[in-house]
Amino acid sequence: MEMQLNVKKLKQLRESKAWSQSQLADVAGISLRTVQRIEKSGVASPESVMSICSAYDI
């Protein structure tokens, strides 16, 4: 099951930490391609969402 995310908010969170997409991928433990796809489409797997939330301590 895919989840719909707020692309604008995701990008704001990343930029507030002054992280590149590559840095977010490293911290979250997901691939750069996954971060790019999520920021473009706003669609992510629950596992990717959990990884990103963990990277942001959410």
Provide the percentage of residues in the chain whose pLDDT is more than 90: 97
Residues 12-44 as b/e (b if ≥16 CB within 10 A, e otherwise) read ebbeeeebebeebbebbebeeebbeebbeebeb
Q: What's the whole-number mean pLDDT along residues 25-53?
A: 97
Q: How confident is the model at residue 56 (pLDDT cuts 50, 70, 90)?
A: very high
3-state secondary structure of 19: coil
How far lies 14's CA from each of 1, 2, 30, 44, 57, in Å?
Answer: 24, 21, 14, 16, 12
Look at residue 5 in the predicted model and tell me its pLDDT.
93
R_g of the chain computed on alpha carbons: 10
User: What domains, with CATH codes, occur in the chain?
Assistant: 3-55 (1.10.260.40)
Q: What is the pTM of this model?
A: 0.89
